[in-house]
């Protein structure tokens, strides 16, 4: 286990943008809560000179550095690996295990071409998903729920908006609908495919903290009788969350507690839930088969 206060520089050496290595570095940091990870990118390494420039940076503090490599060119890859060996810098090859696994299964050799830095195949789909999330935020449905891949429902300030925007960035058109005690949710919500609806909840005291900060930013002072009709009052929040929970139970949706989840982790959980429920729904529908013909 790393000692508290330690810092490590993760040098991502890549022949493209370095996004893959940077994402792995962020995932690694989550496993070391007492470690500060600085990501240093060396993108678009296409020749020996590019490798040498990256290696020069390693000389500055090799004892605090590790290298994540995604370079697929064999000669350049070997040059980076050998330099790390000379400097005693730990070297992680992020591509070779994946390529070796596919080769072992298929018998095919990788082309080892550099992925072009440009528009990914799903670029326009992700743009559409992000636009959809913006257009269908906080119950302002400009599109039908049927067009959404995911529908988030929960009380105000439980993280629906940032989560829906991030899911949109990942390519999932997401709508989010606030559930308000005493206000019936839209009928369309109950008519939606149940597998796509996910409820959000949060610890009441954490929600109180978030709402009080929100109220403060709005320049509204708390009075003895509460704020904004109980918006930032703990007793009212308990009642509100219970009422919202009743609606979520009526919807039959799974409920995700976002209290201690990072945005990326919450998005992953939502995607897993929706994918599993959709698969189960499709499997059930296929077993039932088409309805009988009616003469």
Question: pLDDT at position 22, please?
Answer: 87
Are the C-beta atoms of residues 55 and 49 closer than 8 Å to each other? no
Q: What is the pLDDT along the chain (295 residues), one digit of tens a residue?
A: 444 568 999 999 999 888 888 889 988 888 888 888 899 999 889 999 999 999 999 998 889 999 999 999 999 999 999 999 999 999 999 999 999 999 999 999 998 887 655 555 577 888 999 999 999 999 999 999 999 999 999 998 899 999 999 999 989 999 999 999 889 999 999 999 999 999 999 999 999 998 888 777 776 665 544 555 567 788 999 999 999 999 999 999 999 999 989 898 999 999 999 999 998 888 777 666 654 443 3
Q: Let me know if domain 123-288 sits in CATH 3.40.50.
A: yes
Residue range 6-106, CATH number = 3.40.50.2300
What is the 8-class DSSP label of residue 223? B
- From CA 194, how far away is CA 266, in angstroms rounded? 19
**CA distances to 138, 141, 211, 228 from 220, in Å:** 22, 29, 11, 9
DSSP 180: B
Q: In the prediction, which pLDDT does 257 show?
A: 95
Q: How far is the C-alpha of 150 from the C-alpha of 193, rounded, in Å?
A: 10
Could you tell me the two tokens for 106?
């298929």
The b-or-e profile of 111-126 (16+ CB within 10 A means b, else e) is: eeeeeeeeeeeeeeeb
Q: Phi then psi for 290, rounded to 5 degrees? A: -70, 155
Q: Is 241 exposed, middle or buried (0-12, 13-18, 19+ CB in 10 A)?
A: buried
**CB count, 10 Å around CB of 184?**
10
The length of the chain in residues reads: 295
Alpha-carbon distances, residue 131 vs 34, 121, 128, 148, 162 (angstroms): 37, 18, 5, 12, 13
Kindly state the DSSP code that residue 196 receives in the 8-state scheme: G
**Which residue in this structure is represented by tokens 């982790």?**
265
Q: What is the CA radius of gyration of the chain?
A: 25
Tell me how far the alpha carbon of residue 115 is from its chain's centroid: 23
Helix, strand and coil content of the chain, in percent to the nearest 5, comes to 50, 15, 35
Residues of the chain with CATH 3.40.50.2300: 6-106
């Amino acid at each position: 286990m790393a000692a508290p206060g330690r810092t490590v520089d993760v040098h991502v050496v890549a022949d493209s943008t370095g996004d893959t290595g940077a994402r792995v570095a962020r995932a690694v940091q989550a496993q070391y809560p007492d470690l500060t990870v600085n990501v240093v990118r060396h993108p678009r390494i296409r020749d020996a000179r590019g490798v040498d420039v990256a290696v020069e940076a390693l000389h500055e503090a090799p004892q605090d550095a590790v290298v994540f490599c995604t370079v697929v060119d064999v000669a350049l890859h070997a040059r980076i690996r050998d330099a790390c060996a000379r400097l005693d810098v730990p070297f992680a090859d992020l591509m070779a295990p994946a390529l070796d696994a596919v080769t072992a299964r298929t018998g095919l050799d990788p082309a080892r071409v550099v992925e072009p830095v440009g528009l990914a195949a799903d670029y326009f789909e992700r743009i559409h998903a992000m636009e959809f999330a913006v257009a269908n935020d906080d119950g302002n449905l400009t599109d039908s729920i049927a067009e959404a891949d995911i529908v988030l429902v929960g009380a105000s300030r439980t993280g629906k908006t940032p989560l829906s925007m991030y899911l949109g960035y990942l390519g999932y058109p997401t709508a989010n609908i606030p559930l308000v005690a005493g206000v019936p949710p839209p009928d369309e919500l109950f008519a939606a495919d149940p597998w796509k609806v996910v409820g959000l909840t949060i610890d009441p005291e954490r929600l109180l903290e978030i709402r009080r900060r929100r109220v403060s930013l709005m320049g509204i002072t708390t009075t003895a009788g509460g704020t904004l009709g109980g918006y930032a009052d703990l007793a009212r929040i308990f009642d509100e969350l219970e009422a919202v929970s009743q609606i979520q139970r009526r919807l039959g949706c799974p409920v995700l507690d976002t209290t201690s989840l990072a945005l990326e982790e919450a998005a992953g959980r939502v995607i897993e839930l929706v994918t599993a429920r959709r698969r189960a729904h499709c499997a059930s529908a296929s077993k039932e088969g088409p309805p009988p013909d009616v003469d």
